Structure 1
Amino acid sequence: MSQAPTTAAASGSHSSVAMIARQAIVNAQQVVIGYELFNRSRTATGHTAATDVILVFTALSHAGTEELVGKKLIFVNCTHESLAGGHLELLDPDKVVLEIPPLGHVAVDEVAARLPILTGLRERGFHLAFNHTVLESAYAAWLPLADYIKLDLSLLAPDQVAVLISYAGRHSRAELIAEKVETAQQYDMVSTQGVQLFQGYWFARPALVEAKLLSPTQNSIVQLINLVRQQASTDAIEEVLKKDAGLAFNLMRLINSAGFGLAREVTSFRQAVMLMGLKKLFRWAALLLTASRSGGVPSSVGQTAVVRGRLMELLALESMSQEEADQAFVAGIFSMLDVMLGMPMESALGLLSVPEPVAAALLRREGVLGELIALAEACESSDDAVFDRAAATLHLSSQQINWAHLQALAWADHVTEE
């Protein structure tokens, strides 16, 4: 796989190392069929960063799928929030198994509310894996979507395992994976009952893989986001890539990775931009901005900003022009720029060329865009008083707002076509 063309000049980019652990999942013949990936990088506070699809996607785009998993399946732990990010569109779904967690407090209506997102992912070709709770009656709607069901032998007693294996065999088409297999006795117990896939210390401990990262400057990413939102020419976008080695390197590694699924290698920036398209390029840049944070800012900050931008865009479309809705998106996604860049908002906006209404909304929460930001913040914090006031000012009903919020969270599943 070739690296970025040499026309990219270093401009403050720096390299670092991400630690990704992988643990093999094997069949009865002990042939590896896939790897579960875990993030083992440390945050600024010294804690292991939470594993989710965004972190693993970032590693894949930097390191290249071949280095981590070869031609095997990739099993990725997810949160329900991360399933709504546009980054999933950048992966080849045929190679990815999304591990879907159970809901904290099971409610039939919440299970039903998540169903369209999960169904959409499956229809797009992603494989879905669940733990044994998917066999409970409350999750009956999810069970037909299961390609894999994991049985954690550290949590389940042998008699429970036997019941679950029997039930899964009668009521699902999923392949069963026994995980946390640590002894020969455990292996014998589940294999004699028909389990065909296994994961655990008995077979292999997680192995660390170093993924070398070349980090672009945040200024370059922000400039790229600006150009893409303005639907700038390929020449203008190519110029930004040529000036930042990190940005160019990451784009070329991603588009040439096995996860992107192209048949032939892309060797020029222009080719990469044209093949990816503005919509995917924007989503990639927005994700890269959240990953390039410094000072230990949580990845959830960038994720929230992206969802906020889409929410505001959808609400603006209820009564405003497309151009004004575009401004609403920009105001939303940049409303947490001060936190992401670690500088006052006024200084952060010095990096950008934004319309006056956007600047007024970001700096002083003025105008319609300011009200939309306040409403988006209220949706996140469940502040009923601010929610009611902003909704009344904007002449929006609770039903309109809640539906737009759900659509924003499920962005990747509802907006997939170029």
Structure 2
Amino acid sequence: MTYSYIARQPILDQDKHTVGYELLFRDGPNNTFPEIDPEQATSRLLSDHFLSTHYETLGDKLGFVNFPYQSLINRVPTLFPSDNLVVEILEDCPPTPELFSAVKDMSSAGYKIALDDFIPSKEWKAFLPYIALIKFDIRQVPIEKARNFILRLSGTKIKFLAEKVETYQEFEQAKRAGFDYFQGYFFSKPEMITRKSIAPSFMTVVQLLTEISKPEMDYAAIESLISKDVTLSYKLLTLVNSSVIVKSKIQSFKQALVYLGEEKLRKFISLVSLASSQERKPDYLYGLSIQRARYCELIASQIKTKLEPGQAFLTGIFSLLDSLLDRSLEQVVAEISVDESIKLAITKNEGVLGEILLLTKAYEQAQWEDVRRYCQSIGVDESVLSQCYNASVKWTADLLNVQHE
């Protein structure tokens, strides 16, 4: 039995805003396509995933997609709209006359073409006028070497992307070297560990998150927490009054909570709470923590061990608090009253919750062999992973839309 997976990795600009996602595919156990040739497989995966789920979740962001050589020659990318697709030419594609002709055609049809894991060589020189973006893996081509190449092409319209940026130091260095875009895990690691006390409003947020993770929600406790925080109160009433189900304006929080119901309330609190923490953090971090929470929750609901999905939801959300607060997870969990199993999961990856978190992180980073191993360990059927991931991505997108309306 083979399953197709898709994960997405964010691409950020110099201000750490998300401009797009690289969509990473896997089909079958060894990243191979056993029964069909690669370009058919690419088309199938694109139509299954990119068109069905990811167009609505990409929003105004770009989707970066790798295309095998033959699919480029066959102009497969032209099956998809050009407005938010970036066509990546893999590093193992030979720069043949056929490829040159295809690139020229697609570029003149409005497609953005990128050279992935680029190593400068004279064979590619003729392609450059038709290339919108060049990606350098800074593990293969050091930032200094890439900088010289970027300087030589400074008169062109080509943008440059640094891949595998792991630390803030590398991010700053790549920025100075002239890179426009960045991909890597620097954004989900704390910038610095400083002794920053948690502001009272953030403590309210943590208490709210704890309340919504309980099987039976205590509306009175939630109401008293929300009513203490002006921003939360305002946002809650705005959300409820903009809802189609409301016939007359809602005046009290009690009314608002009843109207929203448990599911919507949980969504609302997750989102607003994170958005109210640290303004200067990459927007992607908020989305990722909510998406991760939802994915953990959906995975938890699929396993036979008696586990409260709400706990998995909190595990996902809290797993990024170190990055949102620039403090170690140990410091953060010491100050919040949350179940011991959640603390152990996020600080030491212990227990079933810890394994669910490891599975989620492996999926986000497209480490498919690890994904398979954790699935077997916690007893999750591999066939549901893609479904749960797509559902979590869509859920987060819906939530963020509510926030921006």
TM, length-normalised to structure 1:
0.49
| Greater relative contact order, per chain length (Cα 8 Å cut-off, separation 6+) | 1
TM-score between both structures, scaled by the size of structure 2: 0.50
